Structure 1
Amino acid sequence: MSGWDSYRAVYGAELRAAAHEFEDHGWSVAGQTATTLLLITGRALDVLEVPAVTGREICAQLRDTGRVVPVAATDSGTWWFPVSAGAELPVELAAAGGVVLHGAGDAVLAPPSQVPDGWVHWR
């Protein structure tokens, strides 16, 4: 087996493990390919997606209040935060550009998905 084939086998196991972990938290997994994992939003969670600069500001505010939350970074320069299903977009974020609240009927790429320009990974 070549090193590349070995890498693919290990990475596939990592994706399967992540899918099981998400399901253990009640997060619905929509699908899995050899390199990606999708989470369904609008059921157990929604996802707030923001530009990376906004994500850093949100993380700093959360740290200042002693809160730790999962945060994912995408290859397109956005960060996403899981939020309660049915959440409303905060007014101050609604006015900001590039902010999307993924809810019912949506799905997001979840860590550790590999995409052409990089990885969706946990921050």
Structure 2
Amino acid sequence: MLDTDWSDSWRSAFRIELRAEAIGLAWHGWPVLPGTFPEMEPDAESWSGPVPVHEDWADRLGAHPNEVAEWWTGQPYSLLVATGKVVDAIEVGVELGKCAARLLRATGHPAPIVATPDGRWLFLTAAADGLPEQLAASGEVRWHGEGSWVPLPPTPYQHGVVHWRVKPEVCGWRLPEATAVHSVLAQALDQTETSTQLVAAAPVAA
């Protein structure tokens, strides 16, 4: 359960915020969808993350913002974006995410980045066909392409809320090419692996 007061007034205010974010993203052409939230589950502690509310969610992609607004009329649904058409997402852990974010800032071409309360970072890019072999084989990186989705702020989890590390406005709402972000993530992966190896090889003080 969320570490906050899930009262009727709080639920209403949160629903309005989620609805406003969904409408804004839809106007920018992002394929948003309503998702489940912890309070919908009989056992909220076993909730592992939001999934689309509608079984035919794939047929609803590209809905007009007016229709999107109606989806959030009654419930504070999670805010999801479907991947594979307009947006892709590359999911990594915190340490790799921080390293990649620093490298992206250094290039002067940041990407929108989402962080979840369970310690995952999502780098959003334009749609692509897949990951380079180095990233796909690393075990540290998960690609969300066609048929998948990811949560966007302010989606609620049991113990926190999904939030932006880098908002789309910073990039002028232009999603970076996937290849550019893949390259930076590969550099970050090399750096974090090297750092881990150096730590492992360091002598232990007597």
**TM-score of the superposed pair, with normalisation by structure 1:** 0.87
Q: Of Structure 1 and Structure 2, which has the larger fraction of its residues in strand?
A: 1
Structure 2: where are the runs of 5+ without partners?
1-5, 37-75, 166-206
Cα deviation digits, residues 94-114 of structure 1 (max 9, x gap)? 343231110110111111100
Asked which structure has the greater RCO (Cα within 8 Å, sep 6+), the reply is: 1
Q: Does the aligned pair in 1 maintain the 2:130–2:145 contact within 8 Å?
A: no
Query: Partner of 1:61 in structure 2?
Result: 103
User: What amino acid does structure 1 have at the position aligned with 2:18?
Assistant: L
Query: Partner of 2:12 in structure 1?
Result: 9
Q: What is the alpha-carbon root mean square deviation over aligned residues?
A: 2.0
Cα deviation digits, residues 81-122 of structure 1 (max 9, x gap)? 111112431344334323111011011111110011321111
2:140 paired with 1:98: yes
Q: Any runs of at least 4 consecutive aligned residues in structure 1 with deviations exceeding 6 A, and if so which?
A: none
Q: Does the aligned pair in 2 maintain the 1:45–1:83 contact within 8 Å?
A: yes
Higher Cα Rg: structure 1 or 2?
2
Structure 1: where are the runs of 5+ without partners?
none
**TM-score of the superposed pair, with normalisation by structure 2:** 0.54
Q: Does the aligned pair in 1 maintain the 2:111–2:125 contact within 8 Å?
A: no
Equivalenced residue count is 122
Task: Give the distance between the partners of 2:129 and 2:89, measured in 1 at CA.
Answer: 9
Counterpart of 1:19 (choices 22, 29, 44) is 22
Q: Of Structure 1 and Structure 2, which has the larger fraction of its residues in helix?
A: 2
The percent of aligned pairs where both chains have the same amino acid is 41
Query: Partner of 1:114 in structure 2?
Result: 156
